[in-house]
Amino acid sequence: MRDLRITGLHLRLVRNRIAMIRSHGIGSVRETIPRVILRLDTDAGISGWGEGTPWEAFSGTAEAAFEAIDGYFRKHLIGADAFRLPDIMLACDHEVFGEEAAKAAVEMALLDLQGKALELPVHQLLGGKIRDRIPLSFSIADPDIEADVERARDLVKGGWGIFKVKTGFSSHTNDLKRLEMLREGLGDIDLRVDYNQGLEPWDALRTLRDIEEFKPTFIEQPVARQHVDCMADLTAALDTPVMADESVFNAADALRLVNLRAADLFSCKIMKSGGIRGVQKVLAIAEAAGIPCYGGTLWEGPIALTAATHMIAAERNFPLGCEFYMPSVVYSADEIECPFAISEGQVIVPDRPGLGLDIDEDRLDRCTVRSA
């Protein structure tokens, strides 16, 4: 096929309203979520879409991601052949250290372009899908636990069966009460726990012994990302599998955790690994070590989560499902730029060319606070 030349780059910094507070071990999110939305135009009349949504307490700011694309990556994109994705991403890596969410946005826009030009869905570009649906988890993160339990009851009626409780932002006593309410109120569900680095290493084991009484499927990132030795001690001491999230951004992190036996499971996110190809490197190490993976998120909207859906659809080592619930449950429905397909507690894998999205730019414009 002939070259697919990029002729235009349009960038938006948007702020989407959310319907509830989301609290975690390292911070809370209220009112709005900032995201960077990228559109690449080509000489074939095809446009590709990407999204970069970091979290300032986790991996950086949306404003920095905007500046990385606008001020540093633009020159490597305009005039480039969209099929030369590895060359473009290498240039971006050399241009700016970090800014993984910005790089993820560029990569997914290029994959969207390629898929549309070849009339193939992105999962076909990744080798083909092995699943049509992905089990979906909802995170219990509202400080108003009664409200979240009621939401969870409604979701159970709709076919959802996986719930992850965000712990560590309140007292240990309150965390135990919340878990008790969920076990009693929702019956036989797949219950998971995520501290988001919320525990101190010296007290973590004693605290988690209490948590194990509720038989969670896993306990995610109990201590700060740098305390990998403590993660290894907890992984050895607990009966419940320990999942690494903030401790595993890239392949080098994954290799270190494997060597130290510091986790039983990995949470994989395209926003922290710089895109799908970065996650694939983590997955290769995880699979070789016998470590199952989970589709995690930050605060992404439907563009980024659709890209992650294509990735999980094409990868075998994702037996734990995903938490791609934000557009469907937390975002204000009238501000979402495109639908995100779920049914009966599962994400539906798209089969249309590229990412398979129809973007409503009027809705994006209403939420835009800056453009370039």
- Please report, for the chain, the start and end positions of each structural domain, with discontinuous segments joined by +: 6-119+359-371, 125-348
Residue with tokens 């606008």: 70
- Top-level CATH class of 125-348? alpha beta
| The pLDDT of residue 361 | 93
Catalytic choice (166, 220, 269, 300): 166
Q: Check residue 22 and give its pLDDT.
A: 59
SS3 sequence of the chain: CCCCEEEEEEEEEEEEEECCCEEECCEEECCEEEEEEEEEEECCCCEEEEEECCCCCCCCCHHHHHHHHHHHHHHHHCCCECCCHHHHHHHHHHHCCCCHHHHHHHHHHHHHHHHHHHCCEHHHHCCCCCCCEEEEEEEECCCCHHHHHHHHHHHHHCCCCEEEEECCCCCHHHHHHHHHHHHHHHCCCEEEEECCCCECHHHHHHHHHHHHHHCCCCEECCECCCCHHHHHHHHHHCCCCEEECCCCCCHHHHHHHHHHCCCCEEEECHHHHCCHHHHHHHHHHHHHHCCCEEECCCCCCHHHHHHHHHHHHCCCCCCCCECCCHHHHHECHHHCCCCCCEECCEEECCCCCECCCCCCHHHHHHHEEEEC
Active site residue 323: yes
pLDDT at 146: 79
Q: How far is CA 51 from CA 14, 48, 102, 105, in A?
A: 10, 11, 8, 4
Strands 6-17 and 368-371: antiparallel
Pairing of strands 162-166, 137-140: parallel
Establish whether 67 is a catalytic residue.
Answer: no
pLDDT in tens, the chain (372 residues): 578 999 999 999 999 887 666 555 455 565 788 999 999 999 999 999 999 998 766 667 889 999 999 999 999 999 999 999 999 999 999 999 989 999 999 999 999 999 999 999 999 999 999 999 999 998 887 777 778 788 888 888 888 889 998 887 778 888 888 888 888 878 788 999 999 898 999 999 999 999 999 999 999 999 999 999 999 999 999 999 999 999 999 999 999 999 999 999 999 999 999 999 999 999 999 999 999 999 999 889 999 999 999 999 999 999 999 999 888 877 877 888 888 999 988 999 999 999 999 999 999 998 899 999
Q: Which of 246, 323, 335, 337 is catalytic?
A: 323
C-alpha to C-alpha distance for 166 and 175, rounded to whole angstroms: 9
- Using CA atoms, how far apart are residues 352 and 222, in angstroms rounded to an integer? 39
> Quick one: pLDDT at residue 25?
47
Please state the pTM of the whole predicted model. 0.92
Domain 6-119+359-371, CATH: 3.30.390.10
Q: Which residues contact 248 (CB under 8 A, 6 or more apart)?
A: 254, 257, 263, 266, 267, 282
Please tell me the predicted confidence (pLDDT) of residue 16: 84
What pLDDT sits at residue 147?
80
